Amino acid sequence: MPVHCLIVDDSQEFLDAATRLLEAQGLTVVGRSRTGADALELVDALAPDVVLVDVELGDEDGIGVAGRLAAHPASPTVILISSHDRQALRELVPSDSGLGFLTKQDLTAEAITRLLS
């Protein structure tokens, strides 16, 4: 059964590249959003299995958006993504936050699937 994924990032370039990469590796990207508000609406409409959320989401707090998505009644798995490693973000993203984490450089369908299991 394919994994249905929603990607939330303020960069259209990254959204396009990540969609191509993940779909080529077998994930189904059901939606893309550049804002937290749109992402919450898309979770309602699309019921993704996993939501990838950029830590640095433009003028928004990506970690706060991720927390709201994780608390959503549809309860998708939420994975924070960043161009920085987790060590650099350790004060912002505690390891016991319940949120997954991947660097954008390590973003693959296999890595996402591993975090889902």
What is the pLDDT tens value at each position of the chain, 117 positions in all? 789 999 999 999 999 999 999 999 999 999 999 999 999 999 999 999 999 999 889 888 888 898 888 888 887 899 999 887 656 555 665 555 567 888 899 999 999 999 888
DSSP 2: P
Number of Cβ within 10 Å of residue 73's Cβ equals: 6
Question: What pLDDT, on a 0 to 100 scale, did the predictor assign at position 8?
Answer: 97
Q: What is the CA radius of gyration of the chain?
A: 13
To which CATH superfamily is domain 4-116 assigned? Response regulator (3.40.50.2300)
Cα(38)–Cα(41) distance, rounded to whole angstroms? 5
Cα(111)–Cα(104) distance, rounded to whole angstroms? 11
Cα(72)–Cα(74) distance, rounded to whole angstroms? 5
Residue 26 backbone zone (phi > 0: left; psi -120 to 50: alpha; other: beta)? left
Q: Is the pTM of this model over 0.95?
A: no
